[in-house]
Structures are given as C-alpha cells and as structure tokens.
Structure 1
Amino acid sequence: MNKVKKVPQRKCIACQDRDSKKELIRIVKNKDGEIFLDPTGRANGRGAYICKSLECLKKAINNKALNRAFKMEVPTEVYEKLLMELEEYDK
C-alpha cells in the first residue's frame, strides 16, 4: 500500500491563493522583532507566506497584510528591504 505524502499548503497573505509551501516565500518576524525573507523556510519566529512575485509583495504592502500577520506596525524600511530581497531572490 503506497502512502501519498501530504504536501503542506500555505496561503499567500496578499492574493489569498493557496499553494505548496515550496512555491511560496516565507517572511519571518523573530523574537527580536526583526522581519526578513526566509528562503529556507526554517528560521525561528512567526511566519507569513507570500507568492514569489513583486506584485503580491506590493499588494501586501498596500493592504498592510504584514501588519495583520505579525500583529504590529511594520516600518516602511522593512517593506523596502523586503522588496530589494525579493528582487535579488528572483534573479
């Protein structure tokens, strides 16, 4: 009897699309309050997932999805840093 391995599903905080964990990028807020992209998906802290597209990140910024996900006011510099990191990751 073959067991089918269940693929972990996550939801993009911007567009609400569900996808496998590997297809989305994790954004983490650690206990020091730092917010950063987590390409490994294993960093300690509270995670929120987003599609690998700049449009989704911009949408998340506009509708303050990260503020809701992390239950805090996310500074503009953090958003700018995430945009730069995602552009680098995309290359």
Structure 2
Amino acid sequence: MLTLSGAKSAAASAVGGRQCRFNGLLLAFAAFALSGCMPATTRIASADPADPAAKVAHIGYRSTIAPYTSLRPATPAPWRGRNDAVTPQPKQDR
C-alpha cells in the first residue's frame, strides 16, 4: 500500500500537486488510525497490585457541595399570613 501511495504521490506531484496533498492527508490519517493498534511502550504501574507494601499516591477528598449554603429561612412563616398578603383586595363598589 505504501508503494502504491508513493507512486501516486510522485505522479500527482508531477501533474499538479492537488492529489499529492490528498494522499498526504490520507497517509497521515492512516498512520493516526493505526497508532491505536500499537501496544503501549511504557509501563503504567511497575509494582504488583497484590503487594500490600507497595507505595501508592495519597488521595484527597474535596466535597462537591462545599460552597453550598442554604437559603431557606430558619423557621417557616405562617402560610395563612403569607397567603393573605398576596391575595387581591376585594373591590369596594359592589
């Protein structure tokens, strides 16, 4: 495939260069796609996970609701007084 791609690239560069850019992008995409199939070259953990004496990083705890403060009143107001305060006043002309 690389030989065919190289031949197309050489022919396209002689013609105009437009096909060459496309082949270059195609080759770069193929290399990127195939890089996911490669094994990792570095080891993530060198210690045995079953070893109780293995050193591990310390973990920390941060609350997700730490800045929260309640905005509710300490004692609820009587509902009848609040309801009467917002109801429309009856009309006097009837």
Q: Higher helix fraction: Structure 1 or Structure 2? A: 2
TM-score normalised by the chain length of structure 2: 0.25
Higher relative contact order (CA 8 A, sep 6+): 1
Q: Which has the higher strand share?
A: 1
TM-score, normalised with respect to structure 1: 0.25
Based on CA coordinates, which of the two structures has the bigger radius of gyration?
A: 2
